[in-house]
């Protein structure tokens, strides 16, 4: 997230709530009705499109059906719509805990539509007189799933836009103002599209009115949670587990765990790992947490890999003449190989060789050793603005970022991604401190949030936070946005050296 966007959202994420308490619950009710209406339209559209393709266009993978009585299918579709809505409700598709969760919500849609179609198939077996075209069943299954997903995607994007304007926000109280509680609050405020408004903290160690973060005061001790929930219309309570004793944790969950209008959530207690996911698994009836070894799973990982393969393949096909010309220019400019392999950290902490066009003289280390001041600057920032090791051709390549073109092969081989955190060496990894393990959960990228935010003009601490922000807030749309933003960043060349 850029600083301008963060400032734009900050007014909605702390301070006075833009919408009154009663209006917030009305907004939820309105959203529920609107989502149901959209689902009805999309279900009808999917079934109707399936009928058109099967009977009007004539698409069929099975034996041709003799008749296609439109009246029969109209009645059947009108009967199936409420069935689909009931199945959707059973799958939690109108539960605010699961709404707008991206691929997880779409997976629930797929499973719900699959169950609904299985009920139709079972009905044909139970009643021999109930005969429907198998081609229509198959088409309906796929098309209804697609149209419902499309409708929910549009609703999600609309709601995200309204959240930026201060609408459809969820009011949250953070229990615990220690380091973990503050990290949770900062992370929630960094993602404006999540629609979170934080009323403040409750904490026994700090005085009422204390402000650890701008606009987020300590509202009182933990015993005052019930009063604050009523006073601020709190809809969710988030507990920093390391800030409370076991007894107080139990008291909170006993008080609010069964409340219908309050959701209570507890952090893992490992705020350094908040950028990665955790999984709860029961072993011997004991629920245990495990940290995900990779940040992306399932559909997110598949979509990202498809994007990487498609774009990198096209880019290599289009750029090979340029790469050939660069290789010739490098050989003519200075002695040495065309390519340079930089040993960097990949997923799981494994090292691999990231390909780049050679931009330095082959005696680069000796050149750096001759200047103590430049060596100290390099050890501090791992970058030099006036680097004596860089060749004439190397300066051109770095300014235009063309030295990174060979990394498209690393993307094809699955070692890198088009978009991701900045690649670093194993020595540099130590500078990420408590966040360093998160770098091992995603592939480094050719471009990323750091690339479009100023590159080497950004301080090292800012680079770390930009990397963490990307890992926390990944989406395929975020990747597409960063790829698009990379074009002007490369053209302008700010921070490239």
pLDDT at 21: 56
Distance CA 206, CA 456 (A): 40
Token reading at 100: 């707008």
Alpha helices in 334-435 (DSSP H): 364-369, 372-381, 392-400, 407-412, 426-429
Q: What is the pLDDT of residue 103?
A: 74
Q: How far is CA 338 from the centre of its chain?
A: 37
**399 to 19, 297, 394: CA distances (angstroms):** 48, 35, 8
Give burial (CB, 10 Å; 0-12/13-18/19+) of 312: buried
Q: Which CATH class, in words, describes the domain spanning 170-291?
A: alpha beta
DSSP label of 272: G
What sign does the dihedral 134-138-139-145 (CA atoms) show? positive
What is the Cα–Cα distance from 248 to 269, expressed in whole angstroms? 15
State pLDDT tens for residues 49-77: 999 888 888 766 555 544 567 888 899 99
Q: Tell me which DSSP letter residue 233 carries.
A: T
Residues 6+ apart with CB under 8 A from 462: 453
What values do phi and psi take at 131, rounded to 5? -115, 125
Ranges of CATH 3.40.50.720 domains, the chain = 170-291
Supply the pTM of this predicted model.
Answer: 0.62
> Residue holding tokens 């908040």?
274
pLDDT tens across 164-186, in order? 777 888 889 999 888 888 888 88
Helix (H) or strand (E) holding 415: none
pLDDT in tens, 219-265: 989 888 888 888 888 888 998 888 888 888 888 888 887 777 788 88
| Per-residue pLDDT at 276 | 60
**Mean pLDDT to the nearest integer, 294-313:** 84
Q: What percent of the chain has pLDDT over 70?
A: 81
User: How far is it, in rounded angstroms, from Cα 54 to Cα 201?
Assistant: 58
CB-CB contact of 192 with 5 (8 Å): yes
Confidence of residue 5 (pLDDT cuts 50, 70, 90): very low
């Amino acid at each position: 997230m850029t600083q301008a966007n963060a400032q734009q959202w900050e007014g909605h994420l702390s301070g006075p709530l833009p919408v009154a308490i009663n209006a917030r619950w009305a907004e939820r009710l309105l959203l529920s009705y609107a989502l149901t209406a959209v689902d009805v339209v999309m279900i009808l559209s999917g079934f109707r499109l399936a009928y058109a393709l099967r009977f009007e266009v004539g698409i069929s993978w099975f034996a041709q059906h003799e008749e296609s009585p439109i009246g029969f299918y109209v009645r059947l579709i009108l009967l199936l719509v409420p069935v689909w809505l009931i199945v959707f409700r059973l799958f939690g598709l109108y539960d605010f805990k699961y709404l707008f969760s991206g691929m997880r919500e779409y997976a629930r849609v797929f499973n719900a539509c699959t169950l609904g179609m299985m009920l139709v198939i079972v009905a044909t077996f139970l009643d021999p007189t109930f005969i429907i075209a198998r081609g229509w069943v198959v088409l309906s299954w796929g098309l209804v799933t697609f149209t419902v997903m499309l409708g929910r995607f549009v609703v999600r994007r609309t709601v995200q836009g309204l959240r930026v304007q201060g609408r459809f926000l969820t009011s949250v109280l953070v229990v615990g103002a220690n380091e973990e509680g503050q990290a949770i609050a900062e992370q929630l405020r960094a993602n404006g599209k999540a629609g979170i408004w934080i009323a403040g903290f409750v904490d026994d160690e700090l005085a009422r009115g204390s402000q650890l973060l701008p606009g987020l005061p300590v509202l009182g001790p933990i015993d005052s949670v019930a009063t604050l929930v009523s006073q601020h219309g709190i809809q969710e309570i988030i507990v920093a587990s390391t800030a409370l004793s076991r007894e107080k944790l139990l008291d909170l969950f006993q008080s609010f765990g069964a409340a219908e209008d309050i959701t209570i959530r507890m952090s893992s207690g490992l705020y350094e790992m908040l950028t990665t996911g955790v999984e709860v698994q029961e072993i011997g009836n004991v629920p245990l947490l495990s940290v995900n070894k990779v940040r992306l799973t399932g559909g997110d990982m598949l979509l990202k890999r498809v994007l990487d393969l498609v774009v990198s393949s096209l880019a290599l096909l289009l750029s090979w003449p340029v790469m050939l010309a660069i290789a010739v220019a490098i050989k003519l400019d200075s002695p040495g190989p065309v390519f340079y392999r930089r040993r960097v950290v990949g997923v799981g902490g494994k090292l691999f060789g990231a390909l780049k066009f050679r931009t330095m003289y082959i005696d680069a280390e000796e050149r750096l050793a001759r200047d103590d001041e430049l060596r100290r600057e390099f050890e501090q920032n791992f970058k030099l603005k006036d680097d004596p090791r860089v060749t004439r051709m190397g300066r051109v390549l770095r300014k235009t970022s063309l030295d990174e073109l060979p990394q498209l092969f690393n993307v094809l081989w699955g070692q890198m991604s088009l978009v991701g955190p900045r690649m670093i060496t194993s020595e540099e990894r130590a500078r990420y401190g408590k966040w360093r393990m998160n770098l091992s959960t995603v592939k480094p990228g050719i471009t990323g949030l750091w690339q479009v935010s100023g590159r080497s003009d950004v301080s090292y601490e800012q680079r770390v936070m930009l990397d963490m922000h990307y890992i926390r807030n990944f989406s395929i749309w975020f990747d597409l946005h960063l790829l698009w933003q990379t074009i002007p960043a490369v053209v302008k060349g700010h921070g490239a050296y």
